[in-house]
Structure 1
Amino acid sequence: MTGVISASGSRIGWADLPAKVCAAVEDIVGGEVCEAVSQPGGFSPGSADRVRTTNGRRAFVKAVSPAQNAESPDLHRREARITGTLPPTAPAPRLLGTFEHDGWVVLVLEDVEGRHPRTPWEIGELTAVLDALDDLARQATPTPLPELASTAAQLADDFDGWRRLAADTPDDLDAWAVDQLDDLQRWAARGLAALTGDTLVHLDVRADNLLLRPDGGVSIVDWPWAATGPRWLDALSVLVNVHLYGGVDVEAILAARDTTATADPGDLTGVLVGLTGFFLDYARRPSPPGLPTLRGFQRAQGESTLRWVRARMRE
């Protein structure tokens, strides 16, 4: 598929960080940083650098302050707390250290050698990702962070998107969706009710939040949105991304994987409907500071997932 806006923000880099922040990072890593390579992908205006020290040590550094985006520091704090509590064998980078200085929130993580999955997706890479998500679900059930909000609580306002679209319908909303607004609101409510469970879920699994390692394993990165919910939710989330970029039959995967094949098909449809309303509702809002491509990406996701929803509701 061509023409999809990439999942990326407008980043600062290692050279933009205050000297005291850099020095504190070097204390955690254990050496003077001689190389920093900014990493593309992901919706954050903060830094995301793979760093190497003069003594050969490596780490991945994420840093942000309110000057880039007022909400991002809190997201970094959440990510630090969540990543630091994951089971040690979970398919995710280890947190090496975290600190705050003069408004900056900094995470120093294990540097994972790897690359993002190719898009359009390839079946072998998708299988490896889904296996990793199954492994995570086994290790994170019950959740090691029971104090986290449930996905139902976290997504309640997002899943109300169809109500907002019905109350203020944009002129360019798909004609089929306009005719189905009442049904779409009911489906979204069913989806929200289905978001129960005691599994720690990442809640934002996309190609740019995944690294395929040279040994064939997978690391799942960027954890600020994690919550407690059904063990099939992350698999469904990555299939939204697969449907966006193409390359693999998502319905065939839903039927073939035990995690999703045993879920109620109506619950899956309801969650997809809720996500579609969220994407299309938020896509019409102004871009947040430092995230110029976010709304375009949400629109692309909304239009793609609406096509999937439409096909499922016609079955």
Structure 2
Amino acid sequence: MKTAQAYIGKRLGVMDIGSNSIRMMLFEWDGAGFQHVEKFLRTTRLGKGVDASGRLSEASISRSFDALSELMDIAREEGTQEVYAFATSAMRDAANAEALTGPAREKLGLAIDIVDGDTEAKYGFCGVSSCFSEPVVIADIGGGSTEIICGSREQGIAWDKSLNIGAVRETDKYVQSDPPSPQAVKDIEGEVREKVQALLTVHPKPSGAVMAGIGGTITTLSSIAQHMAVYDPKKIHMSRLSYETVCTIQEELCRKCNAERREIIGMDPKRADIIAAGTTILKAVMAALEKPYIVVCGHDNLEGSAVCHYGFLQ
């Protein structure tokens, strides 16, 4: 088995195959940190319909395979020597996950690791905790699931839970109109609140921890709050969103239709149809945890999976 030392100076990659998008990070490791980092994103909606059918659709498989092929071409062109790919909620839940993992392995030479919720939480925690000296409670809102992780850099993960609530899943489940009906929004909030409250009957409420957030919903909300005509990851990283700001943006998003949401400054147009549900999830989680603000972290499960898979220490 290779050690971290063996990877120093080599071009490496990690890939997160999520329910809404596939993300890839290419980088080099100098023994102390990531260098020459490039990130890529392709929106594929792999998880669309999985909650209802328990299967990946042919269309989402096709979109995702094409995206994987394109990203692997980029990795090869850059001389990347190894790519670690992991898949999360949609692939965990789908009975036909092999319909994507098989062709990826046979035609692209890409082995996909379908990780469980605890591993997904570990990756997110490793990415985020390096940015905080104090204890943190992390909300990782994805397309198919939301991970809540509590811990600190010194002590590691105290507890974590993967909840089957996500921006794509909740949109599929509740949103039947454009804009979403008040009842749909209420139903999403109710489900999230119920699941987080159940979690807090088992684990202590992280009253002394800073709340940190990762995932496309949260970074998009920061971009909207900062009125970013051009997305700037440096301004996103470690920015803050107050609970009042999240509520204000959520009300606007739920009031507007998809076409109107796409025109909001700072909005990722490809996320416009699921952002109302994603923001509703964040609002409900913050309320349940009684957190007045959330710190948006630009280091997430891409950095975390690299640290864990390649054996790096930060």
Question: Do they superpose with TM above 0.5?
Answer: no
- Name the TM-score, length of structure 1 as normaliser: 0.33
- Name the TM-score, length of structure 2 as normaliser: 0.33
Larger radius of gyration: 1
Q: Which has the larger strand fraction?
A: 2
